[in-house]
Amino acid sequence: MATAADAADLSPDCALDYLLQVGALKKTKRTGWVENGVPLFHVESVGDHSHRMALITLLNRDPDVDTDKLVRVALMHDVAESIVGDLSPKQMREQGISKEDKFRMEKAAMVKIAAQLDHPAMTARLYDYWEEYERLESKEALWIKDIDYLEMCIQAFTYEQDHHVDLEGFYNFANDAKVAHPWLRQLRAALRARRDAWLAASGVQLQKVDRPAVFTLPDPPSVLLPCAAALAVGVAVGWILRARS
């Protein structure tokens, strides 16, 4: 655990370097949603995903699982993606990236990110939370892996309701072999029941979309708003000229 001494000798400049780097998670899109038809402007970021995972950990009632560690591992588990990006399974297949390759890339990223703190004890602590998740050797890491899948399914339901895209494959992927903890299985079953009830009551016909593998992108407003503004000006000028003619 962190101590007062840890905080006292942590350079503010180094802390800012670290915080600015991990802030990239807030503009790194979750690639799988883009590939399955969710409109880009509405695709959640990796930071969004990790935040709700951390909120789920606070619901833990298992006395054999350390809630404090759950929160920490949840917040750190995708930090490497602030450098590597969110590689989808489709991307990995098409680019010939193996799971071992992905692990090496993310490990190098985590070493770089944690080292920005220039604080050996804190650097080791943050790296260890990430590696604990990757190794899946503790109860807490296994719990986080379960909620990684569970949070994905909750988000899939939201996108189905909002955009009527068929995301059945995400629910099927998060099966009993993936979600092992009994209470989290109950939560997943409740979600499936609520989805089925919504589909029956709404009469919505979900549409299957299959897009090519994509690279994760920065938040679209920062890229596209200047173009949108130029288009709006062009339309306005056109109307003015038409009105004068």
Per-residue pLDDT tens digits for 126-170: 999 999 999 999 999 999 999 999 999 999 999 999 999 999 999
**pLDDT > 70? residue 173:** yes
pLDDT at 18: 97
Q: What is the pLDDT of residue 213?
A: 55
At residue 210, the pLDDT reads 75
- Rounded to 10 degrees, the C-alpha dihedral 154/197/192/150 comes to 10
DSSP 144-174: HHHHHHHHHHHHHHHHHHHH-B--HHHHHHS
Residue 222 has a pLDDT of 40
pLDDT tens for each residue of 8-59? 689 999 999 999 999 999 999 999 999 999 999 999 999 999 999 999 999 9
Report, as an integer, the average pLDDT of 109-127: 96
How confident is the model at residue 81, as a pLDDT?
98
Model confidence pTM above 0.75: yes
pLDDT band at 221 (very low <50, low <70, confident <90, very high): very low
d(CA 107, CA 114) in angstroms, rounded, equals 11
pLDDT tens figures, 195-213: 999 999 999 999 998 776 5
Question: How much is the pLDDT for 211?
Answer: 72
Q: Is the pLDDT of residue 227 over 60?
A: no
pLDDT computed for residue 7 by the predictor: 60
Q: What is the reported pLDDT for 231? A: 37
Summarised one tens digit per residue, pLDDT across range 53-107 is 999 999 999 999 999 999 999 999 999 999 999 999 999 999 999 999 999 999 9
C-beta separation of 46 from 22 below 8 A = no
Report the pLDDT value the prediction gives residue 214, as an integer from 0 to 100.
55
Q: d(Cα 63, Cα 137) in Å, to the nearest integer? A: 18
* Paired residues of 206 in beta bridges: none
Q: Are 82 and 113 in contact (CB under 8 A)?
A: yes
